[in-house]
């Protein structure tokens, strides 16, 4: 399937997509990606869903506090929200190699 560094989905002999999977907290300011997966239970996923953070949504890291404070993200060029670093570490993001 995938690991936290690189992944490939293969269907038969066809390569469907390649990219890099990282935690949202590892993105640099201004960098964006697509939500790939979550590391958490049902309650955590419902919380993210209520914030508008869902699989296959494009998110951009807007700002990051130096000493482990909240992370501000923008969801699909519209709403901006601040989330805790612990929450950001559980959101896995696919970065395209393009």
CATH number of the structural domain spanning residue 81: 2.30.30.90
Assess if residue 1 is contained within a domain: no
Q: Tell me which long-range contacts 62-67 makes (C-beta under 8 A, separation of at least 24).
A: 62/29, 62/30, 63/29, 64/29
Q: What is the pLDDT of residue 4?
A: 44
49, containing H or E segment: helix 42-51
Assess if residue 80 is contained within a domain: yes
Q: What is the pLDDT of residue 33?
A: 93
Task: Please state, in angstroms and as integers, the Cα–Cα distance from residue 14 to each residue in 8, 10, 11, 25, 60, following that order.
Answer: 10, 6, 5, 32, 30
Domain that holds residue 60: 21-95
Residue 65 has pLDDT above 50, yes or no: yes
Q: What is the pLDDT of residue 91?
A: 94
pLDDT tens digits, one per residue of 31-60: 999 999 999 899 999 999 999 999 999 999
Residue 26 has pLDDT above 60, yes or no: yes
Assess if residue 13 is contained within a domain: no
pTM: 0.76
Assess if residue 12 is contained within a domain: no
Binned at pLDDT 50, 70 and 90, residue 82 comes out as very high
Binned at pLDDT 50, 70 and 90, residue 10 comes out as very low
Q: What is the pLDDT of residue 18?
A: 55
Domain count for the chain? 1
66 vs 44: which has the higher pLDDT = 44
Assess if residue 68 is contained within a domain: yes
**CA–CA distance, 38 with 45 (Å, rounded to integer):** 7
């Amino acid at each position: 399937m995938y690991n936290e560094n690189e992944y490939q989905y293969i269907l038969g002999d066809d390569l469907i997509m390649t990219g890099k999977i990282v935690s949202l907290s590892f993105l640099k300011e201004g960098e964006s990606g697509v939500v790939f997966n979550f590391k958490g239970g049902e309650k955590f996923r419902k919380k993210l869903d209520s914030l508008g953070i869902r699989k296959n949504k494009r998110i951009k890291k807007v700002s990051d506090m130096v000493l482990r404070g909240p992370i501000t993200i923008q969801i699909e060029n519209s709403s901006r929200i601040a989330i805790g670093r612990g929450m950001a570490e559980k959101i896995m993001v696919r970065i395209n190699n393009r």
